C-alpha cells in the first residue's frame, strides 16, 4: 500500500520527464468490476518511476519498455500487475479488506481510512434499506456504531432523533451538521433529502473529528455523497414499491371494557341529574355529567357497557391501514470528460390516523461533472424537492390525546341530523376528550415546501504540490402553510360548548373559545430560509523523499481553508377571520385580517482553518491544527473563537517486526488517538437586548421581556479526546469466517459554556436570562464488529454488530438547579450538577411498608405502617377501611430522581446473505437495553378511568375487585397527574427493524436486456419484544433531537409496522 | 487555456477575500426596538403603558392557559379561596386551592379534604418549592406584581432622559404619578397576601432584605402618597396631563368609567386604595376605632358615583383581556352548570336576597353538575352565570364575553368605596348611615331591592346585609378572600352552607371548615434565587 501511494504521488512528477529508453506507447483502460471507468488511477511501469494516471474516462497512455509490466492502483481498490500490452483493459477489484475505504469527512481531503486518526463511520447505499421510507434519517437507524438514532414518532414525515456522541448543548439539541458533498445543508430538513440519490454516508461523531468544522461541529457531522455517473454504458434504473402500514401496538393498549360509573338497578349509567344518561341527538353530546365515585373503596370497575351506553373501540374507529408508494427513476453515465446522474423520485403516504391527511415528497436531482481542462474539474449538484402534506395534526399528538382521553362510550362516528360531527361530547365523555372527526370536517391544511440545493464545486490541481478547491452552496427553503377552517357557526354542538376549531383566531388561553361564533378562518404562514456556504481550500503536499530527495519517508499535507456561512430566515403569518356567507372565498373576502407574525433573522459566521499533517510512510501520522471562527452571534466584541486539534495514528501491523504468522492472523492493527475542540453557536440574536412590543388596541406598548438575551454570550465549546483501535483478523482458512474486523473507540468529552435560560429572582422583574451556565461531560464506547461469516462460490454472508454505549451528565451549573417541564406534559426534568441529562423527578409509590429512601429513612413511620399493606399487585396501599384513602396507593410527599432514562447500550445486528448473485437476504435487529419511558399517555388514561388497567382485579385486605380507588388514586394521590414512578417503565426492546429478500430475475434467467430485474419483499418493525406497556417503546414526545426531553411517551403516535413489495429495474 | 485557468483562480481568490469583512458581523436584530427607543416622549409613554398592562398583568415566565393571566388566574386563586368559584382542572393544583379541610353534610357525614396532604396549609407548603415552577400557584401574584414594580422603576429611572414637548414638568409628573400609583397598587397586593415581601425601588435588581407584610403596606401607602403629590404637579397643565393619560390608557379601556380620570378623581381612587389597605389587612375582630375612623376619612374622599377609575376591557384581539378568558366571570359563564373552567359556587349563589334582580339577571340554574369525587365536595353546582345577562334592565351583569362589554375595575370602584363606608359606619355605630351606603350600591347595580335604610335592622342584621352585599357587589375581582380572612372564616366553621355532595344530594345546612392559610409564605421561586439576608423578617407564616 505504501508503495502504491508513493507511486501515485510520483506518477504526475514523471509526466514531464523525457523518455530516453527504447519505448513504445501503450494505451489502455481501467475499470471497476462492474465496468465503470476509474479516473485518477495510478499506472506505473514496474520497477521504474515511469508512470501516469488515468483520465476521468479511465483511459491512459504510457510509453514503456517492451515486455515490461504495469502496476495499476487506485484508492479503494486492490492493485493489479499486468503485462504492458497496447489496448489492454484492466479491471480492478474493490478492496474488501478493512480500512480500504476512502473518507473525507472531518479531514478536508480524501484519505484512506487506514490513515485516519479518528473513527469515521460510513455506509454505502447498498447497505441502506431499499426504498421503504426514502428518508435518509430512517435509513441510518442502527447503521452507525456509537450513535443512538431512533424513530420517535410514527407520523408521516416525522424526523428521527439523532444522538451521536453525548449531549453537548441543552438548547441546541443533538442534531448534527448535515453536509451534502462537503457543503452544509442548513435550510433543508435532513429527511427531505432523497435516499435514492445518495451513494454513501459518512458520519464523524464528535469534536475530535469535527474540529475542522469549528463553531458548528460539536454535535458531529453527517455527510452525504451524491451518486455520480460512471464511465461505461448509460444506466437507466427504475424502482417502484408499495408498502402497507399499520400502527404498532406492542403493549396491546386498549380502553377499559368495563366501567364503574353510577348506574341504576338495570345497569343504566346515570347522569348527575339522577336520570339515565342520554345522548342529545341534536347537540351531538351528553349534556349531563356522569357520577363516578372513583375513590369509593367499594367501587368496582366491572360494569359492562350493555344498557344505555355501548363500548366503541376508538382505535379501530380511527386507526387505518394505509399504503405508501415509492417510485424512482434515474439515468446516469459518463462520456469523455462529462459525467452525469439525473434522478427523479416520488414518495407518498397517508396518515395512519383516519382523516389526518397525507404526505408526499418528490425530488429531482442532477449531478453533472465536467473536466474543463486538465486538472480543473467543475461539478454542479442540484436537488429540488417538493414536499406537500395535508396533515391536520402533523405530530398526531393532539388527535391521539383527544382520543385517548375520551371514554369509550362516545360514538365519534355519529353525525347530527344536519350532517355534522360534534366536537365535544360533554364532560361525561371526559373533559380532555374531543372528536377528531370534527377537525377533519372543518379543517383543511396544505403545507407546501420547496427546497432548492445548488452546489458548485471547482477543483484545480495546480501542480503536484498544490490543489485548490472552491465550493459554494446555496440552499433555499420556502414553506407555505395554509390553514383553512370552514364556518362552524351552524354547528349546534360547537355553539353549545363554545368549542371551535381555530388556529390563529385570537385567544389568550388554550381551551378558551375565541369568539361567540367561528365563522371561518384562513391562515397563511410563510417561512423562508436561505443558507449559503462557501468553502475555499488549498492543499499543499510534499513528499520529502521524492520532492526534496531526503532519505526519510515523510509526506506532508497542509490544509488551508476559509469557510463562510450565512443564514437568512423569515416568517410571515397572516390570518383572516369571519368568512362571508358565500363560497368560495379567499382571504380578501374575510371581514378581519391580521398579520400575526413578521420576523427576520440573519446569522453570519466565517472562519479560517490551518491543518498540518505529517505521515511516516505507511506506519503512522500526526496532525495538528486549529480553526478560528468569527460569528455574528458571539458576545460583544466579536472576538474569534479558536478551536485547536491534534491527532495521530500508528499502524503497528506495518512495523517491521509485524510479519510472518502474525500478519497472517492479524493483518491490520492500528491504534489512534485524536483530540479536538468544536462548538455550537448561540442563536442569531441571543446577545442583543431588545424591548418587546405589543399592540394594545392601536397603541404601541413597549414591554420588558420575560426571557432576556445576554450581550456576553459565548459559543458553547466541546472538548473531546478519543482513542481507538482498528483490527483485522484472518480467522479461518476455509470458506467460513475468513475475516473479522473490529473497530473500537473510547471517547470522553466535556462541554463548557453550555447556554441555557437561567431563572432570575422574580423580584428583579425578569424571568430568565441566557447564560453560559452549564458544564456537561460525556463518555462512551463505540464498537463495530464485522464478520465475513461465509464466503463460497455461491454464498456470501456478512454479519455486522454495531454497538453504542454512552452517558452524559451535568458537571456544573450556575445558580440553583434548573427545572424543566417536559414539552411532553407535566413530567419535570431537573438539571443539576452530578446528574444525568434528562433525569426525571417525581413521586414514588412503594412495594413494602418499610421501604426506605436512599438515606435509609423510612418513607412511612413505624407508627403509621399498620395503616398500609401491600396489595396483590405489589403496591403499598391504604389498608384501613376507616381511612378516607382506603385502597388508594401510598405516594411519597416528596419527589425523587428516577435515575438515568438513557439506555445502558444500543446494539444492532445486521446480516446480509447473498446467494449466487441473484438472491440477497438481509435482516436488521436492534436491541436497546436499559432505556426508560415515562408512560404519560397511560397516566392521562388513568384520569377518567379510561385505561384498560382499570379492568384488572386486585386484592386488598382480602377483598378482590377491580378497585377504581386504587387506579384513580395512582393518578390523584398527592399530585393529580403528578410524575410518579408507577408510570416510569423499562422501555428496553429488541426489534426486528428490517427483513428483506431480493431476487434478481435478470441474473437468474440471464436476461440480457436487463442489468437488474429485482423483486424485493421486505418488512419493517415486524417483531418487537419489550416489557413496555405502551404502544411502542421507541417513541419520545419531546421535540425532535431535544437534549433532555427524551424519555416521555405523551400520546405520541407509535411507529408503523410495514410490509413492502418493490421492483427494481436496471437497463 | 492557461490564462483561463488563472482567471478562474483569480475570481475564486477574490470571492474568498471579499466575503470576510468583520463589520459584516454587526447584524442587528431588525424585529424589535432597543431599550434606547424608550427615551422619546412616545417611547416612555409606550413603556409606561406596557410596563403596567403587559408586564404587570400578562407576561410571566410561567403561565397556564387554563387558569389564565393575572385577572383570571392570580385573581381566580383568590376567588377560589373566597368560595365564589370552584375548579376541577388540576393545572397548578387549581382544584386543591379551593378545597376546604372539612365539610359536614346535613346528615352529619364528615367529608375531609380528599387530597394528600389533606389540609390546605400542608398542601401549600408542599407545592411551595422552586422545583414546582409554575405549578406553585402562589408564585403568580408575586411574579406579576414585582414585574410591575420593576417596570415602573425602570420608567421612573428613564424619565430623566426624556425630552417632552409642551409642559414637560406636568407630563413628567403624570408619568411619575402613573408609576407611583401602580407601584402602590402592586405593593398593596403583595402586602395583602404574602407574609413578607421586598421593597425594591431599583429596576431589574433586588435585595435579600425581606420585610413584614405591614411594612409592605406602608410602602404601598408611601408610593400612593407620592402619586398624589405628583398629581398635584401634573394638574399644572390639565391638557398635557390629559394628553399623556389618553396615550397611556389603551383606547379600548377608555370607555364608560374607564375614560381618563381627572387628577382629582385619581386622587380619590388613591384614597379608596389606601382605605382598602387598612380594611383588608385587619380582621374585623381586631379593628380599632381609630382604624375605622381612618377608613371613614379616606372613603369620604374616595371614589364617588360616576367618577372615572382605572378599568380593563377586552377587545377582539385580546390585547389586554381576552373576551372569553380574561376575567374570572368569563371563565364561569357557560351553557350549563359546570361547563366553564370555573364552577359557580353554591355558597356564592346562596348570598342573594330573594327578588334581587341581579340574581335573575345572572344566575342560571341547569342540570346539576357533579365533578370528580377526589376534588372535594364543594365545587359541584347547579348554577352558572348567564353570558351577557338574562335581559333584566338596569341590573349588573357579571359575565359578558362580547369584546369590550365587561368593565373590570382594576383598583377600586365606587361600589367598593361605598361598601367600605358602609362597613366603617356600621362598625362605628352609624348603622343607618351604613345601610344607606349599602342601598346606594344596590341602587347603583340595579338590585331592585327594598331599601335597608330606615328599616331598623339590628347591628347583626346590618353586618349580615353588608357581608352579603360585599360578596355579591364586589364578586370575581379578587376581594373575596380578603373578606373571608378578615371575617374569620378561615379557621372558624361556616354554617348553613349549601352543598351539592358527590352523590348529588342537595345539602342546605352543611358546615364548612376552610382551614386556609391567611397570608401565604414567600414563594420559594423567589427564595431559591434570592435567599433571605440576615436580619430579614420571617418569610414563612408561622401558622
- Dihedral Cα B189, B192, B197, B201, nearest 10 deg: 40
Q: Which of A373, A704, A763 lies at the smallest CB-CB distance from B55?
A: A704
A684–chain B Cβ distance below 8 A for any pair: yes
B76-97 pLDDT, tens digit each: 999 999 999 999 998 889 989 9
Tell me the pLDDT band of A417, cut-offs 50, 70 and 90.
very high
* Predicted confidence (pLDDT) at residue B533 exceeds the cutoff of 90: yes
pLDDT in tens, A823-871: 666 677 888 888 888 888 899 999 999 999 989 999 999 999 999 999 9
Residue A707 near residue A768 (C-beta atoms within 8 A): yes
Q: Could you say which of A274, A696, A704 has the minimum Cβ distance to residue B250?
A: A696
Question: Poorest-confidence range of A622-636, A808-822, A946-960?
Answer: A808-822
Minimum distance, in Å, between the CA of residue A297 and any CA atom of chain B = 12
Is the pLDDT at A71 greater than 90? The verdict is no
With a cut of 50, say whether residue A21 has pLDDT above it: no
Phi and psi (nearest 5°) for A906?
-120, 140
Share of chain A above pLDDT 90, in %: 60
What's the pLDDT score for residue A5?
A: 36
ipTM of the complex: 0.93
- A233 CA to chain B: closest CA distance, Å? 31
B139 touching A (Cβ < 8 Å): yes
Q: What is the mean pLDDT of residues A957-965?
A: 95
Residues 6 or more apart from B6 whose CB is under 8 A from it? none
Stretch among A643-657, A659-673, A913-927 having the lowest mean pLDDT: A659-673
Structure confidence at residue B120 (pLDDT) = 95
Q: Sort out which chain A residues have CB atoms less than 8 A from B339's CB and list them.
A: 427, 497
Residue B366 Cα, gap to closest chain A Cα (Å): 9
CB distance A475 to A530 below 8 Å: yes
SS3 call for A254: coil
Interface contact flag, B372 A817, Cβ < 8 Å: no
B508 to chain A, any CB pair closer than 8 A? The answer is no
Q: What is the rounded distance in angstroms from the CA atom of residue A249 to the CA atom of residue A1030?
A: 7
How confident is the model at residue A249, as a pLDDT?
A: 96
- If you ran DSSP here, which 8-state letter would residue A993 be given? E
pTM here? 0.90
A400, pLDDT greater than 90: yes
Q: Count Cβ atoms within 10 A of the Cβ of residue A267 and give its class: 0-12 exposed, 13-18 middle, 19 or more buried.
A: middle
CB-based contact B318 A508, cutoff 8 Å: yes
With an 8 Å Cβ cutoff, is B243 touching chain A?
Answer: no
- Which chain A residues are within 8 Å of B250, Cβ to Cβ? 696-699, 701
Q: Model confidence at A11, in pLDDT bands (50, 70, 90)? A: very low
Average pLDDT score over residue span A627-644? 88
- Chain A CB within 8 Å of residue B533 CB: no
pLDDT in tens, A759-769: 999 999 999 99
> Any CB–CB contact under 8 A between B373 and chain A?
yes
Whether the predicted pLDDT of A22 surpasses 70: no
Give the per-residue pLDDT at B16. 54
Q: Is residue A56 reached through a cis peptide bond, with omega within 30 degrees of 0 on the bond before it?
A: no
Q: Helix, strand, or coil here: A432?
A: coil
Q: Residue A135: what pLDDT?
A: 76
- Taking the Cβ of residue B8 and every Cβ of chain A, the question of whether any pair is shorter than 8 Å is answered with yes
DSSP state of A1009: T
**Is the pLDDT reported for residue A595 higher than 90?**
no
pLDDT band at A4 (very low <50, low <70, confident <90, very high): very low
Best residue of B30, B159, B529 to probe chain A, by most A CBs closer than 10 Å: B529
Q: pLDDT-derived band of residue A669, with 50, 70 and 90 as boundaries?
A: very high
- Under the banding of pLDDT at 50, 70 and 90, the label for residue B489 is very high
* Alpha carbon of A831: minimum distance to chain B alpha carbons (Å): 10
The mean per-residue pLDDT over the stretch B362-367 comes to 95
Say what percent of chain B tops pLDDT 90. Answer: 85
pLDDT for residue A23: 75
What's the whole-number average pLDDT of chain A?
89
Residue B318 at interface with chain A, using a CB cutoff of 8 Å: yes
Q: What is the pLDDT of residue B5?
A: 61
- Mean pLDDT in residue range A910-924: 92
What is the mean predicted confidence (pLDDT) over B371-385?
88
Q: CA distances (Å), A601 to each of A574, B25, B37, B223, in order?
A: 18, 13, 20, 42
Residue pLDDT, tens place only, A996-1046 = 999 999 989 998 888 889 999 999 999 999 999 999 999 988 888 888 888
- Give SS3 for B78: helix
B46 touches chain A (CB under 8 A): yes
In a mutational test of the B interface, the residue from A762, A766, A842, A895 whose CB has the highest number of chain B CBs within 10 Å is: A762
pLDDT, one tens digit per residue, over B239-294 is: 999 999 999 999 999 999 999 999 999 999 999 999 999 999 999 999 999 999 99
What's residue A96's pLDDT?
Answer: 52
Angle at A311 between CA A308 and CA A314, to 5 degrees: 140
Per-residue model confidence as pLDDT tens digits over A110-144: 888 888 999 888 888 877 765 566 678 888 888 89
The reply to whether A882 touches chain B by the CB within 8 Å rule is: no
Tell me the residues of chain A between 339 and 358 that have a Cβ less than 8 Å away from chain B: none
Q: How confident is the model at residue A9 (pLDDT cuts 50, 70, 90)?
A: very low
CA distance B161 to chain A (A): 16
CB contacts of A697 in chain B (<8 Å) are 250-253, 315, 319-320
pLDDT at B257: 97
H or E element at residue A259:
strand A258-259
**CA separation for the pair A565, A213 (Å, rounded):** 11
- The beta strand positions in A9-166, using DSSP E, are 23-32, 42-45, 51-53, 59-65, 69-73, 80-83, 88-92, 102-103, 111-112, 121-124, 148-150, 161-163
**Closest alpha carbon within chain B to A640:** B22
pLDDT of the residue at A901: 80
Q: Taking 50 as the threshold, does the pLDDT of residue A814 lie above it? A: yes
pLDDT at A508: 41
Inter-chain CB pairs, A–B, below 8 Å: 321
Q: Which residue has the cell 399493606?
A: A869
Mean pLDDT computed over every residue of chain B? 94
pLDDT bin (cut points 50, 70, 90) of residue B195 is: very high
On whether any CB of chain B is under 8 Å from the CB of A260, the answer is no
Q: Of the ranges A791-795, A930-934, B259-263, which one carries the lowest mean pLDDT score?
A: A791-795
Contact in structure between A297 and A291 (CB atoms under 8 Å): no
Give the sheet arrangement for strand B110-112, strand by strand: B110-112, B102-104, B506-513, B494-500
B506 vs A: CB within 8 A = no
Contacts of B135 in chain A (CB under 8 A): 826
Which has more pLDDT, A98 or B205?
B205
Most confident of A558-567, B6-15, B58-67: A558-567
Q: Are A911 and A799 in contact (CB under 8 A)?
A: yes
A637 part of contact set with chain B, CB < 8 Å: no
Which residues in chain B have Cβ-Cβ distances shorter than 8 Å to A765? 55, 146-147, 149-151, 153-154, 203-204
Per CB-CB distance under 8 Å, the chain A contacts of B502 are 291, 293
Residue A99 pLDDT level (bands cut at 50, 70, 90)? low
Question: Residue range A459-475: average pLDDT?
Answer: 92
pLDDT of residue A1034: 94
Q: B57, A703 in Cβ contact below 8 A?
A: no
Q: What is the pLDDT of residue A10?
A: 35
Cell of A825: 406534559
List A residues 803-842 in contact with B (Cβ-Cβ < 8 A). 815-817, 819, 821, 826, 828, 830, 841
Spell out which residues of chain B touch residue A602, defining contact as CB-CB under 8 Å: 27
pLDDT (0 to 100) of residue A8: 35
Q: What is the pLDDT of residue A110?
A: 81
Please check the confidence at residue A18 and state whether its pLDDT lies above 60: no
Q: Could you say which residues from 377 to 396 on chain B have a Cβ atom under 8 Å away from some Cβ of chain A?
A: 380
Higher confidence at residue A1047 or residue B444? B444
Amino acid at each position: 500500500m505504501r508503495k502504491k501511494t508513493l507511486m501515485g504521488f510520483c506518477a504526475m512528477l514523471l509526466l514531464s520527464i523525457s523518455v530516453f529508453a527504447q519505448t513504445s506507447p501503450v494505451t489502455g483502460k481501467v475499470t471497476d468490476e462492474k465496468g465503470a471507468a476509474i479516473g485518477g488511477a495510478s499506472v506505473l511501469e514496474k520497477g521504474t518511476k515511469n508512470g501516469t494516471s488515468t483520465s476521468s474516462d479511465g483511459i491512459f497512455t504510457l510509453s514503456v519498455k517492451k515486455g515490461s509490466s504495469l502496476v495499476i492502483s487506485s484508492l479503494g481498490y486492490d492493485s493489479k500487475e499486468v503485462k504492458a500490452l497496447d489496448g489492454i483493459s484492466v479491471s480492478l477489484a474493490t478492496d474488501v479488506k478493512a480500512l480500504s475505504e476512502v473518507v473525507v469527512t472531518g479531514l478536508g481531503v480524501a484519505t484512506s481510512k487506514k490513515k485516519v486518526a479518528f473513527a469515521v463511520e460510513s455506509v454505502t447505499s447498498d447497505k441502506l434499506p431499499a426504498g421503504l421510507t426514502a428518508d435518509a434519517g430512517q435509513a441510518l437507524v442502527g447503521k452507525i456504531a456509537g450513535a443512538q438514532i431512533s424513530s420517535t414518532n410514527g407520523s408521516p414525515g416525522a424526523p428521527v432523533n439523532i444522538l451521536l456522541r453525548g449531549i453537548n448543548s441543552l438548547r441546541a439539541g443533538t442534531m448534527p451538521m448535515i453536509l451534502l458533498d462537503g457543503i452544509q445543508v442548513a435550510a433543508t430538513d435532513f429527511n427531505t433529502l432523497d435516499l435514492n440519490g445518495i451513494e454513501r454516508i459518512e458520519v464523524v461523531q464528535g469534536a475530535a473529528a469535527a474540529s475542522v468544522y469549528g463553531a458548528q461541529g460539536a454535535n458531529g457531522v453527517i455527510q452525504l455523497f451524491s451518486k455520480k455517473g460512471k464511465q461505461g454504458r448509460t444506466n437507466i434504473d427504475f424502482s417502484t414499491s408499495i408498502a402497507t402500514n399499520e400502527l404498532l401496538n406492542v403493549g396491546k393498549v386498549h380502553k377499559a371494557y368495563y366501567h364503574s360509573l353510577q348506574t341504576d338497578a338495570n345497569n343504566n349509567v346515570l347522569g348527575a341529574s339522577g336520570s339515565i344518561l342520554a345522548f342529545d341527538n341534536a347537540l351531538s353530546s351528553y349534556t349531563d355529567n356522569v357520577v363516578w365515585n372513583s375513590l369509593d373503596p367499594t367501587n368496582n370497575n366491572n360494569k359492562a357497557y350493555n344498557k344505555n351506553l355501548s363500548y366503541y373501540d376508538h382505535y379501530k374507529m380511527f386507526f387505518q391501514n394505509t399504503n405508501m408508494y415509492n417510485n424512482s427513476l434515474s439515468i446516469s453515465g459518463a462520456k469523455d470528460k462529462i459525467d452525469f446522474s439525473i434522478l427523479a423520485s416520488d414518495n407518498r403516504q397517508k396518515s395512519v390516523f383516519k382523516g389526518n391527511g397525507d404526505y408526499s415528497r418528490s425530488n429531482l436531482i442532477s449531478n453533472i461533472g465536467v473536466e474543463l481542462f486538465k486538472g480543473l474539474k467543475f461539478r454542479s449538484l442540484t436537488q429540488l424537492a417538493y414536499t406537500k402534506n395535508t396533515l391536520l395534526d402533523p405530530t398526531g399528538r393532539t388527535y391521539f390525546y383527544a382520543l385517548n382521553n375520551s371514554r369509550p362510550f362516545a360514538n365519534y362516528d355519529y353525525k347530527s341530523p344536519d350532517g355534522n360531527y360534534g366536537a365535544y361530547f360533554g364532560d361525561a365523555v371526559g373533559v380532555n376528550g374531543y372528536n377528531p372527526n370534527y377537525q377533519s370536517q372543518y379543517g383543511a391544511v396544505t403545507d407546501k415546501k420547496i427546497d432548492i440545493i445548488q452546489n458548485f464545486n471547482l477543483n484545480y490541481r495546480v501542480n503536484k504540490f498544490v490543489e485548490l478547491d472552491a465550493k459554494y452552496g446555496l440552499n433555499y427553503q420556502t414553506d407555505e402553510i395554509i390553514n383553512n377552517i370552514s364556518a362552524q357557526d351552524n354547528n349546534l354542538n360547537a355553539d353549545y360548548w363554545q368549542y371551535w376549531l381555530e388556529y390563529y383566531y385570537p385567544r389568550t388561553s388554550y381551551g378558551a373559545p375565541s369568539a361567540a361564533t367561528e365563522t371561518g378562518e384562513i391562515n397563511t404562514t410563510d417561512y423562508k430560509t436561505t443558507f449559503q456556504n462557501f468553502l475555499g481550500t488549498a492543499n499543499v503536499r510534499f513528499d520529502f523523499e521524492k520532492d526534496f530527495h531526503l532519505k526519510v519517508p515523510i509526506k506532508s499535507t497542509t490544509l488551508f481553508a476559509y469557510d463562510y456561512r450565512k443564514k437568512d430566515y423569515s416568517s410571515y403569518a397572516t390570518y383572516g377571520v369571519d368568512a362571508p356567507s358565500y363560497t368560495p372565498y379567499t382571504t380578501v373576502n374575510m371581514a378581519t385580517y391580521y398579520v400575526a407574525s413578521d420576523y427576520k433573522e440573519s446569522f453570519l459566521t466565517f472562519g479560517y482553518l490551518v491543518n498540518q499533517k505529517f505521515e511516516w510512510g505507511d506506519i503512522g501520522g500526526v496532525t495538528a491544527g486549529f480553526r478560528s471562527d468569527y460569528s455574528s452571534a458571539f458576545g460583544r466584541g466579536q472576538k474569534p473563537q479558536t478551536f485547536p486539534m491534534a491527532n495521530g495514528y500508528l499502524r503497528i501491523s506495518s512495523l517491521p517486526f509485524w510479519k510472518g504468522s502474525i500478519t497472517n492472523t492479524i493483518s491490520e492493527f492500528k491504534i489512534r488517538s485524536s483530540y479536538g475542540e468544536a462548538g455550537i453557536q448561540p442563536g442569531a440574536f441571543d446577545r442583543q437586548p431588545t424591548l418587546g412590543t405589543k399592540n394594545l388596541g392601536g397603541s404601541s406598548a413597549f414591554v420588558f421581556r420575560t426571557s432576556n438575551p445576554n450581550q456576553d454570550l459565548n459559543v458553547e465549546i466541546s472538548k473531546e479526546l478519543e482513542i481507538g483501535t482498528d483490527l483485522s483478523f484472518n480467522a479461518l482458512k476455509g470458506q467460513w469466517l475468513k475475516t473479522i474486523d473490529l473497530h473500537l473507540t473510547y471517547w470522553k468529552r466535556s462541554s463548557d459554556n453550555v447556554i441555557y435560560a437561567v431563572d432570575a429572582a422574580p423580584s428583579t422583574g425578569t424571568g430568565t436570562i441566557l447564560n453560559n451556565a452549564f458544564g456537561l461531560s460525556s463518555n462512551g464506547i463505540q464498537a463495530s464488529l464485522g464478520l465475513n461469516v461465509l464466503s463460497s462460490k455461491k454464498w456470501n454472508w456478512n454479519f455486522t454488530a454495531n454497538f453504542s454505549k454512552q452517558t452524559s451528565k451535568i458537571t456544573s451549573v450556575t445558580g440553583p438547579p434548573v427545572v424543566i417541564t417536559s414539552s411532553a406534559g407535566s413530567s419535570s426534568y431537573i438539571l443539576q450538577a452530578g446528574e444525568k441529562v434528562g433525569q426525571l423527578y417525581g413521586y414514588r409509590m412503594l412495594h413494602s411498608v418499610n421501604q426506605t429512601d436512599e438515606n435509609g429513612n423510612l418513607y412511612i413511620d413505624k407508627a403509621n405502617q399498620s395503616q398500609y399493606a401491600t396489595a396483590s399487585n405489589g403496591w403499598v396501599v391504604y389498608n384501613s377501611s376507616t381511612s378516607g384513602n382506603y385502597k388508594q396507593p401510598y405516594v411519597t410527599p416528596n419527589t425523587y430522581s428516577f435515575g438515568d432514562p438513557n439506555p445502558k447500550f444500543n446494539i444492532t445486528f445486521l446480516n446480509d446473505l447473498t446467494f449466487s448473485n441473484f438472491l440477497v437476504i438481509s435482516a436488521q435487529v436492534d436491541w436497546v437495553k436499559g432505556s426508560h419511558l415515562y408512560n404519560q399517555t397511560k397516566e392521562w388514561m388513568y384520569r377518567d378511568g379510561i385505561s384498560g388497567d382499570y379492568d384488572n382485579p386486585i386484592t386488598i385486605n382480602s377483598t378482590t375487585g377491580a378497585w377504581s380507588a386504587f387506579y384513580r388514586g395512582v393518578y390523584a394521590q398527592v399530585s393529580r397527574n403528578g410524575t410518579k414512578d408507577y408510570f416510569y417503565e423499562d422501555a428496553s426492546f429488541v426489534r426486528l427493524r428490517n427483513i428483506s429478500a431480493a431476487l434478481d430475475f435478470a441474473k437468474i434467467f440471464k436476461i440480457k436486456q436487463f442489468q437488474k430485474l429485482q423483486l424485493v419483499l421486505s418488512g419493517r418493525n415486524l417483531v418487537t419484544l419489550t416489557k413496555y406497556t405502551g404502544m411502542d417503546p421507541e417513541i419520545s414526545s419531546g421535540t425532535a433531537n431535544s437534549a433532555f426531553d427524551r424519555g416521555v411517551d405523551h400520546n405520541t403516535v407509535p411507529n408503523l409496522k410495514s410490509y413492502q413489495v418493490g421492483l427494481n429495474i436496471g437497463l | 487555456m492557461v490564462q483561463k485557468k488563472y482567471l478562474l483562480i483569480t475570481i475564486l481568490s477574490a470571492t474568498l477575500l471579499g466575503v470576510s469583512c468583520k463589520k459584516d458581523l454587526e447584524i442587528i436584530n431588525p424585529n424589535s426596538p432597543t431599550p434606547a427607543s424608550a427615551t422619546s416622549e412616545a417611547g416612555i409613554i409606550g413603556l409606561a403603558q406596557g410596563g403596567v398592562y403587559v408586564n404587570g398583568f400578562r407576561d410571566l415566565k410561567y403561565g397556564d392557559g387554563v387558569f389564565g393571566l393575572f385577572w383570571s388566574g392570580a385573581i381566580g386563586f383568590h376567588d377560589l379561596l373566597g368560595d365564589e368559584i370552584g375548579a376541577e382542572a388540576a393545572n397548578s393544583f387549581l382544584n386543591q386551592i379551593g378545597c376546604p379541610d372539612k365539610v359536614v353534610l346535613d346528615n352529619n357525614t364528615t367529608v375531609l379534604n380528599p387530597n394528600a396532604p389533606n389540609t390546605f396549609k400542608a398542601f401549600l407548603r408542599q407545592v411551595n418549592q422552586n422545583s414546582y415552577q409554575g405549578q406553585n400557584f402562589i408564585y403568580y401574584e408575586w411574579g406579576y406584581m414585582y414585574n410591575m414594580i420593576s417596570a415602573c422603576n425602570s420608567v421612573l429611572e428613564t424619565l430623566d432622559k426624556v425630552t417632552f414637548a409642551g409642559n414637560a414638568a406636568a407630563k413628567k409628573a403624570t408619568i411619575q404619578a402613573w408609576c407611583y400609583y401602580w407601584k402602590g397598587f402592586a405593593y398593596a397586593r403583595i402586602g395583602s397576601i404574602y407574609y413578607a415581601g421586598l421593597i425594591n425601588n431599583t429596576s431589574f435588581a433586588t435585595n435579600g432584605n425581606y420585610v413584614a407584610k405591614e411594612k409592605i403596606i406602608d410602602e404601598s401607602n408611601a408610593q400612593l402618597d407620592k402619586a398624589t403629590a405628583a398629581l398635584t404637579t401634573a394638574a399644572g397643565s390639565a391638557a398635557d396631563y390629559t394628553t399623556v393619560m389618553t396615550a397611556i390608557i389603551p383606547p379600548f379601556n377608555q370607555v364608560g368609567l374607564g375614560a381618563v380620570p381627572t387628577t382629582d378623581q385619581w386622587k380619590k381612587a388613591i384614597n379608596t386604595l389606601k382605605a382598602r389597605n387598612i380594611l383588608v389587612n385587619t380582621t374585623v375582630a381586631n379593628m380599632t376605632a381609630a382604624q375605622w375612623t381612618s377608613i371613614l376619612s379616606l372613603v369620604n374622599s374616595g371614589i364617588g358615583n360616576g367618577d372615572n377609575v382605572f378599568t380593563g376591557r377586552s377587545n377582539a384581539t385580546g390585547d389586554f383581556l381576552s373576551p372569553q378568558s380574561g376575567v374570572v366571570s368569563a371563565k364561569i359563564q357557560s351553557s350549563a352548570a359546570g361547563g366553564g373552567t370555573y364552577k359557580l359556587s353554591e355558597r356564592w349563589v346562596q348570598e342573594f336576597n330573594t327578588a334581587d334582580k341581579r340574581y335573575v339577571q345572572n344566575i342560571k340554574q341547569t342540570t346539576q353538575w357533579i365533578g370528580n369525587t377526589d376534588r372535594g365536595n364543594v365545587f359541584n353546582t347547579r348554577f352558572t352565570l348567564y353570558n351577557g345577562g338574562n335581559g333584566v334592565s338596569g341590573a349588573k351583569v357579571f359575565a359578558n364575553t362580547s369584546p369590550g362589554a365587561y368593565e373590570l375595575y382594576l383598583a377600586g370602584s365606587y361600589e367598593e368605596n361605598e361598601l367600605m363606608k358602609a362597613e366603617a359606619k356600621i362598625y362605628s355605630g352609624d348603622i343607618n348611615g351604613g345601610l344607606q351606603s349599602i342601598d346606594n350600591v344596590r341602587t347603583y347595580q340595579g338590585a331592585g331591592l327594598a331599601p335597608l335604610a330606615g328599616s331598623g335592622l339590628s347591628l347583626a342584621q346590618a353586618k349580615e346585609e353588608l357581608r352579603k352585599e360585599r360578596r355579591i357587589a364586589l364578586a370575581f375581582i379578587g376581594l373575596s378572600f380578603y373578606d373571608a380572612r378578615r371575617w374569620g372564616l378561615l379557621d372558624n366553621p361556616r354554617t348553613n352552607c349549601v352543598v351539592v355532595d358527590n352523590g348529588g344530594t342537595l345539602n342546605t345546612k352543611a358546615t364548612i371548615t376552610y382551614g386556609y392559610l391567611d397570608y401565604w409564605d414567600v414563594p420559594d421561586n423567589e427564595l431559591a434565587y434570592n435567599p433571605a439576608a440576615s436580619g430579614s423578617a420571617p418569610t414563612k407564616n408561622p401558622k
